[in-house]
Amino acid sequence: MNNITETQDSEKDKRLIILDTETTGINPREGHRIVEIGCVEMINRQLTGRTYHAYVKPLDQRGQVFQMEQEVINIHGLTNEFLADKPIFSQVVHEFIDFIRGAELVIHNSKFDVGFMDHEFSLFNSMGRSQDKVPMTNDICTITDTLKVSKDELGSPKTLDYLARFYRVDKLVDRTYHGALIDAQLLAYVYIEMTRKQSSFNLSAGDGGNADGNAIRRISSSRNKLKVIAASADELEAHADRVAVIAKKGGDPLWK
């Protein structure tokens, strides 16, 4: 595992971790556990290529291997047999925390994932020595919930599947199963599109480095006139032919 660079103070260098988990069920209070963790790193709204991924063998309250229902297996594709030789959570907890520490976590329905993460951290703390105790998620990370963002942007909470289709990024990742790393990668693309309008343009102008984003840049009246290039006769004819084809197929061209 590579060392994690310290979180930068500037917005430009803000470190985001897009995160998803897969679990044995819905409620950790019923004994359900994490079976997969997937994280992708983003800095300055750019994917860095760094990821964290782990499969986890779930244990029940007796310390035996948790046997998942087929209904759950059908969702994420992870079978009991596949997970049988994977590490338990206590064996990956420190490297996982090292990867996410200090970052802003971007999670779709963070209440679910953070609830399971904190449940796993609490179980680890209850079984370990005091010097080995780990923090809770909110103690080391800030959290952005894209489920809430989708409600603010689109009027109601939307599923990741819906957002992937809405922002036309659903074809970028093969999602035969809802794997944690696969979903984290998809959410990264969704997040980029969802927050694109937050990227600011540099509209500053004037002498002395005026940083007023509302300043208007005046263009000199003595500037060279813009050259206007009109369509040729052949181009106009080709355009008319194309508009006729569209009209024939039932369309109503706006550029007649």
Residues 53/45, Cβ–Cβ less than 8 Å:
no
- Residue 102's nearest CA partner among 9, 34, 195, 192 is 9
- Residue 184's nearest CA partner among 2, 18, 44, 12 is 18
Residues 68/24, Cβ–Cβ less than 8 Å:
yes
User: How far is it, in rounded angstroms, from Cα 119 to Cα 135?
Assistant: 11
- 142-145/104-107 β-pairing: parallel
Q: Give the neighbor-by-neighbor strand order of the sheet with 15-23.
A: 46-55, 34-43, 15-23, 104-107, 142-145
User: How far is it, in rounded angstroms, from Cα 58 to Cα 66?
Assistant: 5
> Which residue in the list 32, 94, 108, 178 is annotated as catalytic?
178
Residues 239/254, Cβ–Cβ less than 8 Å:
no
Q: Check if 178 is active-site.
A: yes
Q: Which residues are catalytic?
A: 178
